[in-house]
Amino acid sequence: MSSSLLLKASVFLASDVPDPGREAPEELTEKVNTVLGIAAWGGTAAGVAGVLVTGAMMAISLKRGESSEHMSRLGMVLGGCVLVATAGPLISFVFN
């Protein structure tokens, strides 16, 4: 008895849900693309800076005779670079 009432209520509540479509307004698309382009550029610049800083730290610690965990740091920087480079194609693959 109660499941029939729940079914009728869910049909009634879901009957007037609007469907706005999948296309975003042109003005919004341009602004979002600009912001995403800036973010991608910043991520690429941060990746290059990270590789340079890690390399400099490796050279300095080698000269001093210290051993450190530079390879794990370099691996994390390169992993971040891979994420930045593949973010767009990965999301396109998932949602298309």
Range in 3-17, 57-71, 74-88 with the lowest mean pLDDT:
3-17
Between 20 and 91, the more confident residue is 91
- Whole-number Å distance between alpha carbons of 56 and 63: 11
Q: What backbone phi and psi angles, to 5 degrees, belong to 19?
A: -115, 100
Q: CA geometry: angle at 31 spanning 23 and 87, to 5°?
A: 80
Say if residues 61 and 70 touch (Cβ distance below 8 Å). yes
Q: Please spell the DSSP secondary structure of 9-75, one letter per residue.
A: HHHHHHTT-----SPPPHHHHHHHHHHHHHHHHHHHHHHHHHHHHHHHHHHHHHHHT----HHHHHH
Dihedral over Cα of 85, 89, 91, 94: its sign = negative
Q: For 26-67, how does the pLDDT look when each residue is reduced to its tens digit (9 = 90+)?
A: 889 899 999 999 999 999 999 999 999 998 888 888 777 776
- pTM of the full structure: 0.64
Of 14-18, 57-61, 83-87, the poorest mean pLDDT is in: 14-18
Residue 17: pLDDT band (50, 70, 90) is low
- Residue with the bigger pLDDT between 68 and 46: it is 46
pLDDT bin (cut points 50, 70, 90) of residue 15 is low
